[in-house]
Structure formats: C-alpha cells, structure tokens
Structure 1
Amino acid sequence: MARLYLIRHGRPSSTWGGHDDDPGLDEAGQAQARAARDWLLSRPQIERPGLVVSSPLRRCRETAEPTAAALGVPVEIDPVVGEIPTPKSLSAEQRPAWLRQAFQGTWGAIDGDMDYDAWRSDIVASLAQRANTAVFSHYVAINAAVSRLLGVDQVLAFRPDHTSITVLETDGETLRLVEKGAEAATGVL
C-alpha cells in the first residue's frame, strides 16, 4: 500500500469569520509550511510523496508550495479536498455559528442544503486514488476523512493542528488510517 499524507494548512493571517474569506498564511503559518515540507522530505524514499495536491483556497496553496517546489512538481488543485460547503442561504457572518453548531453533532445532522455524509464519502474516494501524495486541506475536510475511516458519525473525530500531518495508506481503491496528525490544544482558530 502506498502512503498518502493529509496536511492541514498553516496558520492563516485571519481566522474564519474574519474579513478576508480567503486569507493566506501569516509568518508563523509560513514557517509551519516549511516545517511540513522538511518532515515530508525526511521520509524514507519509498514513503516520500511525489505529488502535491491542494484545496483551491489560498492558505492551503501557500502551505503546499514549499513542498511542491522542493519536489519540483506543480501544485494540483482539487476542490474535493476544499472547505466544507456552506449553505447558500448563509452569509459570511453566519458561517462561524453554523460551523460551531455542525461541530457539535453528526454528519447526517448538519443543517444545510446538501448531503454532508455524501461529501465526506467523496473526499475519501478521491483520497483513495492518490498514492504517494501530499494533500493540503482543511480542518473539517480532514475530519470528514478521518471520521469515515474510524467508522464514527461525529463531525469532529479529532482536532488537527495547523500543518498536522495525518498518515494514510491506499491501494488505489481503499484507504486506511495509519496515524492521526498532531492535535491542537485549542479549538479551531
């Protein structure tokens, strides 16, 4: 089975619910991106990623760039590993409260205009096809994959810290959790 690394983006320059809906990384986040790159490149050759995939959002792209540059590969953008889709009826100001409510429950109970359990299935299916890849994603999307792999319905299976690296294995069809990444001491920032 091939290794797959699921990495949460580095610390953004503003938090969710802030004025910038697509913030880049702050200085600490940039340092975290370089540390993630160094960790990924320190893997034995057989486990080292050869491809880099990112959510379309700037904080993920900026976290992915040092790894892609070091490997000499482009960053492939994949919307499937992007942020959890917000219901169309919600404003940007309402999103934080909606997310806090979603964090308290199960995937099937999230209030919205889509099937969020199907969304997490789509993420797992996409990841299963990506061997030897570093995938830069988001807190909730990572929880979508991990909760599915652990067989739990809770939205929050764990609290991945910024640039937390969750290790998975895939044979191209199935996905297996090897090790959860580092957890944050605080809630989502």
Structure 2
Amino acid sequence: MIYLVRHGEAAAGWGDHPDPGLSELGQKQAAAAANALMALGATSAISSPMLRCRETALPFEQRMGLVATVVPEISEIDTPEGIDERATWLRTLMAGDWHGGSHSFVDWRRAMLDFVSGLPDQTVVFSHFVAINALVGMIEADPRVVVFRPGHCSVTQLTRANGPLSVAEYGSESATRVL
C-alpha cells in the first residue's frame, strides 16, 4: 500500500500566500493523520517541499523517528508564467479536464506517477489536492482535473494488486474552496 495524504488546513489561502504553513486546526489534523498512518502500518515518508506538507509530515516523522524525504516530484501544480490571478486560474483549471486549456501538464503528471509507482509499499506521500487528483486520474484513466475532493489530511490508499498501481480506497472528502 502507498498512502497519499493531502496536507492539513493551511494558514493562508492558495491565492494569498505562495507557501503557507498549517493553521492551528491543520496541526491537529496532522497529528490525527499520523496516528491513522501508524495504525495502517506506514513505515516511511516522502513530502512535497511546500511548508504545509512538511508541517503535515512532522507528527508522523516524530512518532516514527524518521525524516521524510523531500522531493519536488509530488509538489503542488505550478502556476504557468504570465498568470497574475492564481486563484482564478486554479478554479478554472479544476472545473475542467487535463485535455483542455493551453497547458496540459502531461509531463508533470507522468513524472509524478512514475515516481510514486517506484516507491516501496508502506510509504506515505504528503502532497496536495491537485497533485493527488492528478495521480488518481492517471491511475484510473479519468481526464477530469478533480476526480474527488480529498479533505485535509485525508488518506487515499494505492495498491499494486497486479503490477501497476490502482486505487484501493479514496480518502475522506470535503468541500474545498480556492481562496
């Protein structure tokens, strides 16, 4: 099993701060996620370099006595150059599919799936809403940008039943607003 964990609630909106840490609620969510991951048998971790993911990984790292490997392959989707209003751009992207628009992000999605596919079982991946959706969309050949709405610190489980990754269980969902 590979566990995809969306970061906890951020202290600032996506359009307001380029790299916010966690809110007080987000820190509590991260602690609860660490307990759940330990109960699932997770033994190693990787994290997006974004602060909200690093802070979400921290309780798991402390309980397990390890440090998550920080990798850019599972980071947040990059805003294309020339976009001034990030939140508006992201809302528009999330309403569509990967085949629309002027930038398809094919390379980003493929590199992320290739990277996660090479991880050993029982690895936790601390990542982001769009990145997790891109992964499960690639796995399930679903072209929508938003396949499901993972809540903060939700745990989506991937398995390798017959070789390639498949989604064993989606994490808990909640409404997500892009601010």
Letter in structure 2 aligned against 1:182: S
Shift >3 Å, 4+ stretches: 185-189
**What's the counterpart of residue 26 of structure 2?**
29
Residue 109 of structure 2 aligns with an amino acid whose one-letter code is R
Helix, strand or coil at the partner of 2:46: strand
Corresponding residue SS for 2:99 = helix
Q: Counterpart in 2 of 1:159?
A: 149
Number of residue pairs matched by the alignment: 178
Contact 1:55/1:79, CA 8 A, preserved across alignment: yes
The answer as to whether partners of 1:108 and 1:116 remain within 8 angstroms in 2 is no
2:90 corresponds to which of 67, 79, 99: 99
Match of 1:185 in 2: 175
What's the offset of the Cα at 1:188?
A: 4.4
Instruction: Provide the residue aligned with 1:41 in structure 2.
Output: 38
Shift of 1:187: 3.6
* AA at the equivalent of 1:109: G
Q: Distance in 2 between matches of 1:180 and 1:188?
A: 21
Give the superposed CA RMSD: 1.7
Displacement of 1:75 after TM fit? 1.5
Q: Percent identity?
A: 40
Q: Which residue of 2 aligns with 1:82?
A: 75
One-letter amino acid of the structure 2 residue matched with residue 125 of structure 1: D
* Superposed displacement of residue 151, structure 1: 1.3
> Quick check: 1:15 aligned with 2:13?
yes
Q: Which runs of 5+ in 2 are unaligned?
A: none
Residue 119 of structure 1 aligns with which residue?
108
What is the TM-score normalised by the length of structure 2?
A: 0.93
